[in-house]
Amino acid sequence: MSDCIFCKIANHEIPSDYVYEDDLVVAFKDLNPLSPVHVLVVPKKHYDNITDNVPAETLAAIAHAIEVVAQKTGIDKTGFRCITNTGDDGGQSVHHLHVHVLGGRKLNPTAGEGE
Ligand code: 5GP
Ligand code: ZN
């Protein structure tokens, strides 16, 4: 989508602080981190959210990217949280599928995101 910020970051039209990239996904640091590690894993192709008929290959690539991001940032050893906000009630503000990878501190077990 031409006016989608994450499409632009994914194709390097707008630069970002990238942590990982392969053929199907990019991972980059969130602009407003809610925890010491806050990385967004984003498919290069535009899907509105997790319910948007995302191919299994892309879902697998997202899972792989999460694993690599966790290893690169060290949170694989301490634990972390993955969240994909979906729709208005889910608090989704950017309507291009993304998974928040949050860690680097003890996260509240009953709250969403970094709260
Ligand atoms: P959502 O609220 O849709 O689940 O999450 C969107 C996330 O994208 C927010 O955490 C916000 O800080 C992040 N974000 C929005 N615009 C940009 C941007 O231009 N660059 C980066 N790196 N993160 C962004
Ligand atoms: Zn997009």
Which of 19, 86, 93 maximizes ligand 1 atoms within 8 Å of its Cβ, making it the mutation to test the pocket?
A: 93
Phi, psi (degrees; rounded to nearest 5) at 63: -60, -40
What pTM was computed for the model?
A: 0.96
Q: Which residues of the chain have pLDDT under 70?
A: 111-115
> Which protein residue's CA is at the shortest distance from atom 21 of ligand 1?
31
> Which protein residue's CA is at the shortest distance from atom 14 of ligand 1?
31
Q: What is the pLDDT of residue 2?
A: 78
Q: What is the pLDDT of residue 48?
A: 98
